Amino acid sequence: MDYRKQMIVQPNRKVRIRDIDPGFKDGQESRETAQIELDRHLKRMADFQALLWAERKRSVLIVLQALDAGGKDGTINHVFTAFNAQGTRVTSFKHPTQAEQDHDFLWRVHPHAPGKGEIAIFNRSHYEDVLFARVHGLADKDTCKRRYEHIRGFESGLAESGTCIMKFFLHISKEEQLARFRARLEDPGRNWKISDSDYAEREHWDDYIKAFERALEATSVPHAPWYIIPSNHKWFRNLAIAAIVANTMDELGMSYPPPAVDLADIRRRYHAEAARTGE
């Protein structure tokens, strides 16, 4: 299944996240049946990364955004571990440091963009400096509008240099978020993930949804599309994202480069060495 058509945010279209069912699972019967398809896409992702790394002509940037407990860490753990760590970098964007605040809001992001052959995964991203700022009144509408223009320019520059960009908003319900908070409370191994801000930010749920809607409307373009991923069911979230990533990488038209050595000569040398050693 190619979920891109179902879940893409079309350019210049109004977005209503609240009209999208976060529990959607496209008729998948269970985690077990979906796992078969997921494993196939994870294998494809690994194969395409090998091509990306060998070809060294382009790169991939994957952006993950969500409300708290939306599943960014889980997606990285269950989907993107399909990639070879040698060619993959994950960057988490927390509250900006003083040095970062002393520069323009994109200053801290650009150094983490992927180089040729690499895959970069942003756990939160440059969008935080619009979303959080807008919800908490740190930036007015005009400031946010200008920041969206800067973001479009930033992503356009990356695309022109050969970066394939995919952006995912992991969509969960407010009830599912509360259930995940409860699970963290009950699991000693996840107690450390609990913060005061988790519950404080719930008071701004509707404001965040509106802010995300405006962000997706303003910055989903053909070379850097947004996808809204129903994520109440973690296993379906993983399947949908893996399918979108694999299908998108498939269309990059990558191929292995020709060998940099004379293979005939290498084979002659191998056979000569094998004959001497009795191999």
**In this predicted structure, what is the pLDDT of residue 279?**
61
* Count of domains for the chain: 1
**In this predicted structure, what is the pLDDT of residue 198?**
75
Range of the domain at 9: 4-277
69: left (phi over 0), alpha (psi -120 to 50) or beta: left
Hey, what are 208's tokens?
A: 């965040």
pLDDT digits (tens, 9 = 90+) for 85-116: 999 999 999 889 999 999 999 999 999 999 99
**In this predicted structure, what is the pLDDT of residue 83?**
98
Cα–Cα dist 267/279, whole Å: 14
pLDDT digits (tens, 9 = 90+) for 143-174: 999 999 999 999 999 999 999 999 999 999 99
Torsion angle in degrees (nearest 10) through CA of 228, 120, 76, 54: 110
Q: What is the CATH number of the domain that holds 144?
A: 3.40.50.300
Q: Residue ranges of the chain with pLDDT lower than 50?
A: none
Amino acid, single-letter form, for residue 158: L
Evaluate the CA torsion angle 48, 221, 2, 92 in order and state its sign. Answer: positive
Count other C-beta atoms under 10 Å from residue 233's C-beta.
Answer: 20
- C-alpha distances in Å from residue 1, one per residue of 20, 26, 199, 279: 19, 10, 36, 48
Hey, what are 181's tokens?
A: 């908070």
How big is the chain, counted in residues?
279
Classify each residue of 93-117 as buried b or exposed e, where b means 16 or more C-beta atoms within 10 Å of its C-beta: beeeeeebeeeebeebbeebbbeeb
Cβ pair 22, 7 in contact under 8 A: no
With a threshold of 0.75, does the pTM exceed it? yes
**In this predicted structure, what is the pLDDT of residue 181?**
92
